[in-house]
Structure 1
């Protein structure tokens, strides 16, 4: 119960919603699954245990221990069977550290031998998503000074507190309500931790650094959220109803910087497809950061003036399109956008 309470604090801050089925949920299904695999001739006796031999791997998958007890492999096979047969899952994604790669590879290969999963990459399918370690600045696993592993909830709270302090230092405490400051600190602080993790290739270890992830320059959530808020500010300052502009306006990309931005926006769909196919959220992060940089180049160019130019309508549409795609990226990354800063 204590663990569940602590986990809930993290999920609440991250905006994660779970449909919980703990390990014990699958216990009643284990005997039937093992019996079915045995009838198929997949389960063999080995040194008092019951195992499944996997081609190309020199250790067997133990499904019943020598003392007759079940183990993680037993549970994982039962869970996989349940998800495929009862929940009719099309794609099951297991997210654990890279050290469990071989275990799940063996489970999936056993499932293919049993005919639960098709050969190749057809549906239904199961994938393992491994991830690397979070390191401290000493290059070792991230811990506190007394060598305890840092709790994620404490990291998130620290990130929010630092974000809140930065907002107040910028003078927002006098301009905004306490609620506005708090919600913005939530979005920036929690978004900073998420983005710092997701922008790296998931298999790569990375060094945790608060100052770097809360920097308002470079490839950080703060920079990207600020860029989005600035676009929203441009649209507001125009005094135009953006919905009316979208209904009646026409997009014309004459300047090179406009065309560069338009081309990058058109790449969004294929970027999402690549990220989903390869299960690499950093692909979305790279795209989002590049989008912000390309927009900044467009907006900073005096030849691409938005408000008050004879091409205001078209350029407002380009600003809105950029903001919409940025929000789509934030949504995919689990980051809450902010609309003013």
Structure 2
């Protein structure tokens, strides 16, 4: 909500230049920045901030340059760029002389390409803005900023679907408000902490260990629940399913990871040393299945990056966890014995 709010206010305030509007805009930005930073800290996100107002000084020059190239035309009092194959124009200057989303997005794209020398610019918004960015990118190609085809530098739009509640409607609280991410993280952590205490960890671990584990499991569960779905489709959010220790969940992957760490710890060996000096013999079918799946990792990462689909990596990791669990549980593979003899 804040992002959309200060986007609109920044455009209005800088056009009118009213000091009252500027102060209100700055206050909203600071409140938003403070609250967002709390969430970013939890998720380990680091940002280099350049809000939309940063690009305002570049807009007139960019529009002028596009006009000199013959791309900008008059239409019903506005200045627009016509895009082939699309029956509506890209409005870059409104009929009242003001700028809009397209003005800012074109200026930002110009800056990123010419000042920051970006090779691949990825825009992440909801799927409803697909046509808008498609028009911006096509205008940039007409201007010669971007090459034709899929060569570098390039710009891509990454759309995402809606998060739905179990009623099939947009995920909201009981009083119909949109669920805030910070509240979602709090709930996930609290449920994870309760599950740990229920399993008796409260008696074995310190409070600090309980808190850090609840953070890792709870936040990881939220991240994975979002990333494992194809970003273009809507999906239903369910806390119980998200924190389940069976099936395609973060909890299941973390459990497999803990088992692997246990094997390494119990072996008492330096893994890098073993990798450099050891000999790998895959005799059993479960061993070969695990080895062959591991060899696919590079291809999966390349596919995910090329198509901008994180769920491809999630699918791979879930399948890897299943194959590893089968391998680990097979008495013929003797994982525990091998761990002790490494």
Provide TM-score, normalisation by structure 2: 0.87
Question: Which residue of structure 2 aligns with residue 95 of structure 1?
Answer: 124
Shift of 1:237: 2.2
Deviation at 1:150, TM superposition (A): 0.6
- Alignment map for 1:76-155 (pairs within 5 Å): 76-155=105-184
Judge which range, 108-117 or 4-13, deviates more: 4-13
- CA-atom RMSD, angstroms? 2.3
- Rounded to whole Å, the distance in 2 between the matches of 1:9 and 1:220 is 25
Q: List structure 1 segments (4+ residues) > 2 angstroms apart after TM superposition.
A: 237-248
**Preserved CA contact (<8 Å) 1:137 1:209:** yes
* Matched-pair contact (CA < 8 Å) for 1:230–1:340: no
Secondary structure in 2 matching 1:73: helix
Equivalent-residue separation in structure 2 for 1:244 and 1:85 (angstroms): 46
Take 1:29 and 1:162, find their aligned partners in 2: how far apart are those partners? 48
Shift, 1:299, TM fit: 1.0
Deviates more, 1:166-175 or 1:133-142: 166-175
On the 8 A contact 1:30/1:74 being kept in 2, the answer is yes
Q: Which residue of 1 aligns with 2:71?
A: 42
1:54 match: secondary structure: coil
Aligned equivalents of 2:274, 2:309: Cα separation in 1: 36
Deviations 1:152-190 (A, max 9, x none): 000001101110111111111111121111111111100
- In the superposition, the TM-score normalised over structure 1's length comes to 0.88
Query: What SS does structure 1 have at the residue aligned with 2:167?
Result: coil
Task: For 2:290 and 2:171, locate their aligned partners in 1 and report how far apart those are by CA, in whole Å.
Answer: 39
- Residue 264 of structure 2 contacts residue 271 of structure 2 at CA under 8 Å; is this kept in 1? yes
Residue 300 of structure 1 pairs with residue 301 of structure 2: no
C-alpha deviations, 1:106-147, integer Å up to 9, x for none?
Answer: 000000000000000000000000000000111000111111
Q: State the alpha-carbon separation in 2 of the partners of residues 94 and 42 from structure 1.
A: 23
Residues 220-241 of structure 1: CA deviation (Å, up to 9, x unaligned): 0011011100111122223334
Structure with the bigger RCO (C-alpha within 8 Å, sep 6+) is 1
Structure 2 CA distance for aligned equivalents of residues 340 and 56 of structure 1? 67
Distance change >3 Å, CA 150–CA 97, structure 1 → 2 = same
Number of matched pairs = 307
Over residues 245-288 of structure 1, what are the superposed CA-to-partner deviations in whole Å (9 max), with x where a residue is unaligned? Answer: 23332111111111111010000000000000000000000000
2 CA distance for matches of 1:145 and 1:78? 41
Range that drifts further, 171-180 or 200-209 = 171-180
8 A Cα contact 1:97 1:130, kept in partner: yes
SS at match of 2:332: helix
8 Å Cα contact 2:267-2:341 kept in structure 1: no
Q: Is the 8 A contact 2:82 2:90 kept in 1?
A: yes
1:136–1:207 CA contact under 8 A, matched in 2: yes
2:173 and 2:243 mapped to 1: Cα distance?
A: 20
Maintained 8 Å contact 1:227/1:292: yes
After TM superposition, the structure 1 stretch with the greater mean CA deviation from structure 2, 274-283 or 257-266, is 257-266
Superposed CA offset, 1:91-115 (max 9, x none): 0000000000000000000000000
Distance apart, 1:34 and its partner CA: 0.1
Structure 1 residue 340: Cα displacement: 21
Question: How far did 1:242 drift?
Answer: 2.9
CA contact (8 A) 1:216 1:223 kept: yes
Residue pair 1:232, 1:340 contacting (<8 A) in 2 also: no
Contact 1:139 1:207 survives alignment (8 Å): yes
Q: CA deviation at 1:292?
A: 0.3
Contact 1:33 1:78 in 2 (8 A): yes
| Residues 111, 117 of structure 1: 8 Å contact kept | yes
Q: Deviations over 1:200-237 (max 9, x none)?
A: 00011001110000001110001101110011112222
Q: 1:87 to 1:31 in 2, by over 3 A?
A: same
